[in-house]
Structure 1
Amino acid sequence: MNKPASSDGTVGKALETLDMVAELGRPVRFTELLAMSPHPKATLYRLLQTLTNQGMLAYDEARQTYSPGLRLVRLAHFAWRQSSLAPIARPHLDALAAAVGETVHLAQMDRGQVLYVDKRNAVDPIEMFSQAGKVGPGYCTGVGKAIMAHLEGEARQNAINQQAFFRHTNTTLTTTEALEAELDEIRSEGVAFDREEHEPGIICIAAPILTEGGRVLGALSVTTSTSRQSLEQLSDLRPKVQSTAIKIAETAEVWQFPT
């Protein structure tokens, strides 16, 4: 189904078009984009031409496909270095991963969804959805709930309103009321858990990364499989997870990480 047209003029339309190409994760033909786009054929063609001319998209004449351009890749790299927690958090994630031997995730929130900005695989890796650069749901992931629990007022409500509440497993939270109740508990307890809410057999403990003033920058988690550990065993990692989150926040404060 086509997305509604942007109300932000030509720039908004161009960014929506970039999003469509990027989200598909592969080179895409004009006809595919046209089927997804809210814009008329001529408008979409002009947007693609402009984005290609500016290096934001690349066009393969032989295959007649569009893909992200090198200029977009370069901008993404600059954004990752300046606006992502990943470079700041790297040594702390390395230390935590070495200490626990399980998968470690670092995430930030974008429009109510979780953006995984870095990951350390377990000593014995397990198959799971999350990868650096991937976007996941906020309401059924430990990192997503840890972040939302520490958002304030309107920001928290906006994030909740952006959740799809699709039932991924039998333990997925599927209502606003259930999510709000858990967020209150997480804010009180200081950590969040994924109780196989997004993927069967995958559990995690997560902690928010908070500035001294209480602003939430992101979250980190230790993730494993129910075949290896229980939620009770993960709970024992609370001190390590929380202390790592504090170290990342302190480093971010020194580097004046952007709001």
Structure 2
Amino acid sequence: MSDGGDGTVGKALSVLDLVAAQERPIRFAELHRMSALPKATLYRLAQTLVSQNMLVQDPETGAYSLGVRLVRLAHAAWRQASLAPVARPFLDQLSAETGLTVFLAQMDYGYVLYLDRRNARDAAATFSDAGKVGPAYCTALGKAMLAYLPEDELEQALGQQSYYRFTPTTLGSAAVLRQALERTRARGYAREREEHEPGAIAVAMPVRAADGRVLGAVSISGTTVQTDIRRLEGLVPRLRQTVDRVSREASHWEFPVEGETEREGRAV
């Protein structure tokens, strides 16, 4: 099969993106409603991805979920080319001090790509979220990164959002999201107030290079049972310290850039 331009490979990756963004198994009919691909093309790609262990199809329900091959690739990417190894000790310290969960993420084609989750109270939860993909428009991590993108990149990222209403507080359009991003820049951090999941709240700040490029973001997250948004906002100065430390450490690295040869680990 030819893959000129985006071609077959690009279409297959778009299918993987859709499945990953749901964070649950998804049936073909729902996948078809969300995809711009013709039904026959979508089915053929989905079955090919299953045969390559990139997707798994439940034999009883027919629903698709991400396959183990993707997990292996995600962990390899984490080791080879992510911000996670640089940030890990700082995230551990922040989680230990706050008693809350700390996430690290990067922006990937308009989505939030989770690189690490640290929870001092659950030592087994080391890299369980590495490779997970989530929406940007309704998460603190996503808004923290979107707010500091150059206008051309922001415009592209806004067009990649689904604006699906997960909860009554989910931001439902690009115009509303732009207003939220202006508030994020004004206060210096992003908030998440049950916009993606009921009961989930967070504050986040971007990790930026010396030239202002957004390298990723760090969040302190909890539930409304554990804490409240006011307490999380009180932890912003401590979050800022962590982000500054990660940014300084990251200045010794040059991360892979789309379209360029991988240069992981080389000093800037």
TM-score scaled to structure 2, two decimals? 0.73
Which residue, out of 195, 198, 204, partners 2:196?
198
Residues of 2 paired with 1:139 and 1:246: CA distance? 24
Query: C-alpha root-mean-square deviation of aligned residues, in Å?
Result: 3.8
- 1:256 and 2:254 are equivalent in the alignment: yes
Residues of 1 paired with 2:67 and 2:102: CA distance? 28
Amino acid at match of 2:174: T
Deviation at 1:93?
A: 0.7
Task: Please give the residue correspondences for 1:1-259 in structure 2 after superposition, counting only pairs within 5 Å.
Answer: 7-12=5-10, 15=13, 38=38, 44=44, 48=48, 57=53, 68=67, 75-121=73-119, 123=121, 131-259=129-257
Range with bigger deviation, 5-14 or 95-104:
5-14
Deviation at 1:181?
A: 1.0
Look up the SS of the partner of 2:196 in the other structure: coil
Summarize the Cα distance change of 1:48–1:122 in structure 2 as closer, same or farther, 3 Å threshold: same
CA offsets 1:199-257 (integer angstroms, 9 cap, x no match): 12211111111111110011111111222222111111011111111111111111222
Deviation at 1:25?
A: 9.0
Q: How many residues align?
A: 238
Look up the SS of the partner of 1:254 in the other structure: coil
User: Between Structure 1 and Structure 2, whose CA radius of gyration is higher?
Assistant: 1
Q: Check whether the contact 1:205–1:238 (CA below 8 A) recurs between aligned residues.
A: yes
Residues of 2 paired with 1:227 and 1:22: CA distance? 27
Residues of 1 paired with 2:234 and 2:24: CA distance? 41
Q: Check whether the contact 1:6–1:13 (CA below 8 A) recurs between aligned residues.
A: no
User: Identity over the aligned pairs, expressed in percent?
Assistant: 46
Q: Check whether the contact 1:101–1:122 (CA below 8 A) recurs between aligned residues.
A: yes
Residues of 2 paired with 1:210 and 1:6: CA distance? 34
Residues of 1 paired with 2:234 and 2:53: CA distance? 47
Summarize the Cα distance change of 1:24–1:152 in structure 2 as closer, same or farther, 3 Å threshold: closer
Gaps in structure 1 of 5+ consecutive residues:
none
Residues of 2 paired with 1:23 and 1:173: CA distance? 16
Summarize the Cα distance change of 1:201–1:255 in structure 2 as closer, same or farther, 3 Å threshold: same
Deviation at 1:123?
A: 2.8
CA offsets 1:13-49 (integer angstroms, 9 cap, x no match): 565677689789999xxxx7xx9675868x949x949
